[in-house]
Homo-oligomer: A and B are copies of this chain.
Amino acid sequence: ADPVAVAEARAHQDRLTKPRGALGALEEVAVRLAGAAAVSPPPLPAPAALAIFAADHGVHAQGVSPWPQEVTLQMVGNFLAGGAVANAFATQVGASVTVVDVGVAADLDPAPGLRISKVAYGTADLSQGPAMTAEQVTAALEAGVVVARELVEQGARCLITGDMGIANTTASAALICAFTGQDAAVATGRGTGVDDETLERKVEVVRRALLANGLTGGPDGAASPGAQTAHAAQMPQMVHIEQKEYKEQSAQIEQTAQAASAMKTLAAVGGLEHAAIAGFILGGAAAGVPVILDGVIAGSAALAAAALAPAVVDHCVAGHRSAEPGHAVALSHLGLRPLVELELRLGEGTGGLLAYPLVCAAVRVMHEVATFDSAGVSDKEA
């Protein structure tokens, strides 16, 4: 974040005709977006584009969801027909909707609003080994980057993440455990509403996935052996360099190692839509627009994106906090405060869409509200 823009944004907030701090968390949103855009006030984040990344999951075979896998495909049809909750919310807030097939386990017919970037017909079962190959995770990530870039080229000034994938809260829980070190029993939730027995099985599947993939669950994936090895391998070259340079290079290498480890973790227990959303976040940040994160799927994907490039978090706004317990773990790790907390547990981008007018309102204040001086309003007595 740009410290000058942050300072200017804070000072500007304090001159506006309202008691200082009276807009609570919304002032912080405006200040953060000023820092990310490196200008105060930050640009109004409009119009917005929602991208719903759809994919299937091999782990569905473990009985972690009461919904048939075909529902992923059927819901893609529902999005394209305008019949899902995400469509109604997008209409309400004036956001466009793009559906991206990155891994649905069936062939989709071309349709307006659908982008086919299929990497695979679903992932492998993450409880048995890696869900994706290195090539697949890279391709899915790249698909997300491209969608973000193209939506911004087409005029979007705010991106909203969406997802569809039966069983994807299981992959999210595993990612959250791997990136934060949290226990599976804490990070795993009922998703779309599983019963006690299924929840127990789901926790067990997440544990097995972490074990099968050598992810003991250290923070930022650092416990994964890949990270340590990559770092150690670079050490000998650096013996003779200066202390400051050493620190810089060391930090860079640390970051490269962390990024390599994050890709491995994402491939191991993520979903194709998680990888694509991580790319979408990276692409949005690279294009300089805010990215509103939806729920637990986005939160777990954002952990991966943040491990790949920590600065992207400055561009992220946590749209809401879902009912899924792992989501709070992810947001706390990212240092993001959710704007909407209404126990939504739907995905599709619905929580991000609801937050969008709040984000716009926060920024609009910076552009349109008078100052004490300009409005001739007396300030508070010292």
Chain A residues in contact with chain B, CB under 8 A? 16-26, 66-68, 70-71, 74-75, 77-78, 81-85, 87-89, 91-93, 192-193, 323, 339-346, 350, 353-354, 357-358, 360-361, 364-365, 367-370, 374-378, 380-381
Contact = CB atoms under 8 A, between A and B. Distances in A.
Contacts of A360: 92
Given A22-B193, A84-B370, A74 B344 contact: no
B340 A77 contact: no
A261 B24 CA distance: 36
A365 B375 CA distance: 41
Contacts of A339: 342
Contact of A67 (B66, B70, B368, B380): B380
Given A22-B193, A68-B381, 7 more contacts: A26-B344, A67-B380, A67-B381, A74-B376, A88-B367, A89-B361, A193-B380
B378 A71 contact: yes
A353 B364 CA distance: 13
Nearest to A343: B24
Give the interface centre of A77, A82, A343 by most chain B CB atoms within 10 Å.
Answer: A343
B346 A19 contact: yes
Nearest to A19: B192
14 contacts: A19-B193, A19-B346, A22-B344, A24-B344, A24-B345, A68-B378, A74-B376, A77-B375, A82-B368, A83-B369, A89-B361, A91-B368, A92-B357, A339-B342
A101 to B, nearest CB: 17
Nearest to A22: B346
Contacts of A78: 17, 370, 375, 377
Nearest 9 CB-CB pairs, A to B? A83-B370, A24-B343, A19-B192, A22-B346, A25-B342, A88-B368, A74-B377, A357-B357, A92-B361
A376 B83 CA distance: 11
B364 A358 contact: no
Contacts of A19: 67, 192-193, 345-346
A354 to B, nearest CB: 6
Contacts of A20: 193
A369 B85 contact: yes
Contacts of A81: 370, 375
Given A67-B381, A378-B68, A93 B361 contact: yes
A143 B376 CA distance: 29
Contact of A358 (B340, B345, B367): B340
Nearest to A353: B361
A369 to B, nearest CB: 5
Contacts of A89: 361, 364-365
